[in-house]
Chains A and B, each alone.
Chain A
Amino acid sequence: MTPDALALQTETVAAWTALAPAILLGLTGLALLGVDTLWPDDPSNAVLAGVAAAGSILSFAVTGWFLVAGTGQASTGGAIALYGDALVVDGMSLFFTLIFTVVTAMVVVAAYDYLDDHSHRAEFYSLTLFAATGMAVMATANSLATVFISLELASLPSYALVAFLKTDRGSVEAGLKYFLIGAVSSAVLAFGISLVYAVTGSLVLGDVAAAIGTPEMAGVLGLGVLMILGGFAFKTASVPFHFWAPEAYEGAPAPISAFLSSASKAAGFAVAFRVFVQAFPLEAVPAGVDWVIAFQVLAVVTMTLGNFAAATQENVKRMLAYSSIGHAGYALIGLAALTAGGPNGDVLGASMAHLLVYGFMNTGAFLFIALVEHWGVGRTFEDYNGLASTAPIAAVAMTVFMFSLAGLPPFGGFLSKYVLFYSAIEAGFWWLAAVGAVNSALSLFYYSRVVKAMWIETPVADFEIESRPVGLYTAVLFAGVGTLLLLPGFGPVIETAQTVAATLF
């Protein structure tokens, strides 16, 4: 592998090829539109899903190859900067792209069944792919400008996708709320960026970092930093920009909920990590602009609010929505536990690894919801009673997701949460770990409610489940297997994550 990887650095292959994953996603999106236009009357669902899945899987493969080959990583000469440092391809961007692509793949495969009786399928798939493209670019964005643009590129299709079920009031309402909060947030982000530009006179992260040392206008800088933080908080569904999340996830088509709560959230963290670590390095920021404390506050509030609100839900999908807010809180530890000269690589890497595992288990959980919706079973815990007796395999998978989300062994979620708390303690923030521990203990309560409903309770009415949708099953089982395999296979994941994270500092 290494020769090819090295080749990417040389002139034999143009450097832009390092963006192949993002490009592939974008092209797939266009291709889907093309199919839609060229195809006589409504194109077959299978073809569209096939193309979308193929594109995302191909992109996933390429990303994986780059990652293994060491493209943009220390082994082959470090990050590849493109277009005047507007974009940069490095280990972290590839790592996140891995998450986006695999989630996208699962989502489109699942959507194959979900969209069976809907129109505008092509739009659905292509919007998904475009959003994924935006996320892939977010991961590589190295300038506040590209950050903003790619973020919008990811967001705009998402708005549409959430409101995809035009006739469904829930979907529309979700889309509206998502859009309005999103619009406000992006305005805040833009204003924040403009303020930072006002202080530093540059948008490229590196130059910003170089320029912020100057103490004058520290207030403006701090204002800008906090507003940027707010913009990212929206993307990651963190307090206080989380309000859209419960409704959006509940109202949106379940595959889209999965997509947003896993991939989109991860994308938010991708930019947040890069921007704050690269543009506002702790060593450089003025004393008054100590954003770590802000993230600590957000992390604690977010995980607590998410878990406590989730504990009292009756609607499984909404419970998952809140729980994904809670998980945003865990992931925020990655930024909250940073210290000047601390084991930052470990902390950030642990957070990234958690997001990867979360990508599997949370996507799987939402796709299970999609499966249940596909069967026309209700959404409350009571409706799930005794589901295991009718659909044992899917129920086993859901059980795995739930326990893994709760952080119980022997599942991936246990290990990633373990390493996350572990590195938080390592960084000296044992109280962050303690809050996280208390929360995940509480989360065990509501996650096990789902398990209890499926396995322990007796069904109120017998389900009429006629179909075993192959796409949904494939996606769910894939996610389940992934969640399981990530326990033994966690070694390379965490090692990669922590190495690539370390290079950011």
Chain B
Amino acid sequence: MVPPEYYLLLSAAVFCIGLFGILTRRNALLFLMSVELMLNAANINLVAFSYVWGNITGQTFGLFTMALAAAEVAVGIGIILVLYRSFDGVDVTDATTMRW
């Protein structure tokens, strides 16, 4: 079988890719997608180690995570819409009326 460390490395890689996206992308939607990547990195771990440990806790939680991710996106899209309306654009770096 595949040693668990590999799963960890994979998930870490995915997580970092997501993080990289967040740090570099200014488009709100891409930002959201990157977050999804990070969440899925977590899911990789959960599922993999659910197998390693031989219990389904991980898989179940993985499902929950996906559902929550969807909900999050729903709320996020809403917010991005109003963002688009009031700042006519989805560039997250435009909204800087409040600072310091």
Q: Which positions in A face B, CB cutoff 8 Å?
A: 144-145, 148-149, 152, 156, 159-160, 163, 166-170, 172-177, 179-180, 183-184, 186-188, 190-191, 193-195, 197-198, 201-203, 220, 246-247, 250-251, 318
Q: Which positions in B face A, CB cutoff 8 Å?
A: 4, 7-8, 11, 15, 18, 22, 28, 31-32, 35, 38-39, 41-46, 48-50, 52-53, 55, 57-58, 60-61, 64-65, 68, 71-72, 75-76, 78-80, 82-83, 85-87, 92, 95-99
Please tell me if the beta carbons of A145 and B41 are within 8 angstroms of each other in the complex: no
Closest chain A residue to B61 by CB distance? A145
The listed residue (A180, A198, A246) touching B45 by CB distance below 8 A is A198
Query: Which of A144, A160, A166, A198 lies at the interface centre, i.e. has the most chain B CB atoms within 10 A of its CB?
Result: A198
Please tell me if the beta carbons of A220 and B8 are within 8 angstroms of each other in the complex: yes
Knowing A183-B35, A188-B38 are in contact, say whether A167-B8 is a contact too (CB < 8 A). no
Knowing A176-B95, A179-B76, A183-B35 are in contact, say whether A148-B43 is a contact too (CB < 8 A). no
Q: A-side binding surface: helix, strand, loop or mixed?
A: helix
The listed residue (A163, A183, A191) touching B11 by CB distance below 8 A is A191
Knowing A187-B38, A188-B38 are in contact, say whether A202-B57 is a contact too (CB < 8 A). yes
Distance to closest chain A CB from B72 (angstroms): 6
The listed residue (B32, B58, B99) touching A183 by CB distance below 8 A is B32
| Interface contacts beyond A148-B61, A184-B22, A191-B45: sample of 17 additional A-B pairs, CB < 8 Å, sorted by A | A145-B57, A159-B75, A169-B95, A170-B97, A172-B86, A174-B98, A183-B31, A183-B35, A187-B18, A191-B39, A191-B41, A191-B42, A194-B43, A195-B45, A198-B4, A203-B57, A246-B98
Closest chain B residue to A201 by CB distance? B53
Distance to closest chain A CB from B88 (angstroms): 11
Closest chain A residue to B64 by CB distance? A149
Closest CB pairs A-B (n = 5)? A194-B45, A201-B53, A187-B38, A173-B95, A190-B42
Residues of B within 8 A of A191 (CB): 11, 15, 38-39, 41-42, 45
Residues of A within 8 A of B82 (CB): 163, 166, 172, 175
Please tell me if the beta carbons of B22 and A197 are within 8 angstroms of each other in the complex: no
Closest chain B residue to A157 by CB distance? B75
Please tell me if the beta carbons of A197 and B35 are within 8 angstroms of each other in the complex: no
Knowing A149-B68, A187-B42 are in contact, say whether A197-B95 is a contact too (CB < 8 A). no
Query: Which of B31, B32, B65, B96 lies at the interface centre, i.e. has the most chain A CB atoms within 10 A of its CB?
Result: B65
Residues of A within 8 A of B86 (CB): 166-169, 172
Please tell me if the beta carbons of B79 and A179 are within 8 angstroms of each other in the complex: yes
Query: Which of B28, B41, B97 lies at the interface centre, i.e. has the most chain A CB atoms within 10 A of its CB?
Result: B97
Distance to closest chain A CB from B77 (angstroms): 10
